[in-house]
A and B are shown apart, each in its own frame.
Chain A
Amino acid sequence: DTAVSQTPKYLVTQMGNDKSIKCEQNLGHDTMYWYKQDSKKFLKIMFSYNNKELIINETVPNRFSPKSPDKAHLNLHINSLELGDSAVYFCASSHLAGRVDNEQFFGPGTRLTVL
């Protein structure tokens, strides 16, 4: 039944590898987001897509590339993984960005560990 799902839940990989995280929402929302939460629990936005169009692109290394094949899916591909990429990555979705009551629903997170 659920709302925002992510796969995989855990990802352990070596430095230099390329990996992807997938996100899907079944809430009928128009906007999806990627956030990174570091070891100090600081949650920071990375990207946002509105109906397959990129609308937020924060200062993130270009090794990170989001892709939205349709408005229900937003994937995150990471090239040449580095130790500092270790974090929990959350996908979120909301109704059309711009509403003041723009509640964002978060997925369960993907814990990425780079060795």
Chain B
Amino acid sequence: QKEVEQNSGPLSVPEGAIASLNCTYSDRGSQSFFWYRQYSGKSPELIMFIYSNGDKEDGRFTAQLNKASQYVSLLIRDSQPSDSATYLCAFGTSYGKLTFGQGTILTVHP
């Protein structure tokens, strides 16, 4: 079983729609969860992190964490073409190690 699994994608949504990205993880010792965005040919950049069960909102982005189900998701509201990128889910441990999923490619078409 992979440590982190993301929905396989690619995911295509129309501009203005909600994009939903999902991630499950196997390590119950995980402390915190991160969503990174990576544009083609660029480095990953952090969108959000979450470490408590429930929802966390930041602008058009909402992260949801359910530790009992070992599930974390990212919702992007009012998707824009500039949101088209690969989204990487990662979980972190106490000594700073981030374990990444394989990424989901999102395309937002006008």
Interface residues of A (CB under 8 A from B): 31, 33, 40-45, 48, 50, 55-56, 90, 94, 97-98, 100-109
| Residue in chain A with minimal CB distance to B46 | A103
Instruction: Select from chain A the residue with minimum beta-carbon distance to B32.
Output: A100
Q: Contacts A94-B96, A100-B51 hold; do A107 and B43 have CB atoms under 8 A apart?
A: yes
- For residue A112, give the distance in angstroms from its CB to the closest CB of chain B: 15
| Given the contacts A101-B32, A101-B51, A43 and B96 also touching, CB distance less than 8 Å | no
A90-B43, A102-B32, A103-B49 known; A40 vs B102 contact (CB < 8 Å): yes
B92: chain A residues within 8 A (beta carbon):
100, 102
**Is B80 part of the binding interface, using a Cβ–Cβ cutoff of 8 Å?**
no
Task: Count contacts on B: residues with CB < 8 A to the other chain.
Answer: 23
- A40→B103 CA distance, assembly (Å): 9
CA distance A48 to B38 in the complex (A): 21
How many angstroms from the CA of A41 to the CA of B102 in the assembled complex?
7
Interchain CA distance A83-B86 in the complex, whole Å: 26
When the two chains form their complex, are residues B103 and A90 in contact, meaning their CB atoms are under 8 A apart? Answer: no
Q: Is the CB of B32 within 8 A of A104?
A: no
Contact: A45 with B98, CB < 8 Å?
Answer: yes
Residues of A within 8 A of B98 (CB): 45, 104
B51 touches A42 (CB 8 A): no
- Assess whether B95 is in contact with A45, with CB atoms less than 8 Å apart: no
Confirm or deny: B26 has a beta carbon within 8 angstroms of a beta carbon on chain A: no
Known: A98-B95, A100-B51. A108 touches B32 (CB 8 A): no
Contact of A102 with B96 at beta-carbon distance under 8 Å, contacts A41-B102, A108-B43 already known: yes
The listed residue (A42, A44, A50, A105) touching B96 by CB distance below 8 A is: A50
